[in-house]
Amino acid sequence: MTRGETRPERRPESRFDIDRDQMGKDLVALVLTIVELLRQLMERQAIRRVEQGDLSEEQVDRIGDTLMHLDERMTELCDQHGLSLEDLNLDLGPLGSLLPRA
């Protein structure tokens, strides 16, 4: 190598065989899992508030419509990405599953 020349940079070889398509699908599944967890928590909170009787009829109707639309949208997103709602339920070992079973 002569003076002033630079060596071409060599990238280290990856020790992992990364399947980018599977990685993308796994990321979508993780995001949808978090969204589904939040949706279920919101649903439980809404049910508690309805049972306490501190909501107007209009609020109850709006909450019901919103939760119904969220459920439909989650089903659509799962279908688009080839997932089922069961695929989103992570097994936490001795703690059980992340999402309550339907």
3-state secondary structure of 18: coil
Give the distance from CA 86 to its chain's centroid.
12
Give the residue from 85, 84, 42 showing the smallest Cα distance to 64: 42
Radius of gyration of the chain (CA): 23
Q: What does the pLDDT read at residue 72? A: 93
- Could you tell me if residue 79 is inside a domain? yes
- Report d(CA 37, CA 50) in Å as an integer: 20
81 contacts 28 by C-beta, under 8 angstroms: yes
Give the residue from 74, 76, 73, 49 showing the smallest Cα distance to 62: 49
- Could you tell me if residue 44 is inside a domain? yes
Tell me: the pLDDT tens digits for 68-87? 999 999 999 999 999 988 88
- Report d(CA 91, CA 98) in Å as an integer: 6
- Could you tell me if residue 96 is inside a domain? no
Q: How many domains does the chain contain in total?
A: 1
- Could you tell me if residue 28 is inside a domain? yes
- Could you tell me if residue 9 is inside a domain? no
- Could you tell me if residue 48 is inside a domain? yes
- Could you tell me if residue 98 is inside a domain? no
Tell me: the pLDDT tens digits for 15-56? 666 777 777 788 888 999 999 889 889 999 999 999 999 889
- Report d(CA 67, CA 75) in Å as an integer: 12
Q: Which domain holds residue 55?
A: 21-86
Using a cut of 0.85, tell me whether the model's pTM lies above it.
no
- Could you tell me if residue 94 is inside a domain? no
- 90 — pLDDT class (breaks 50, 70, 90): confident
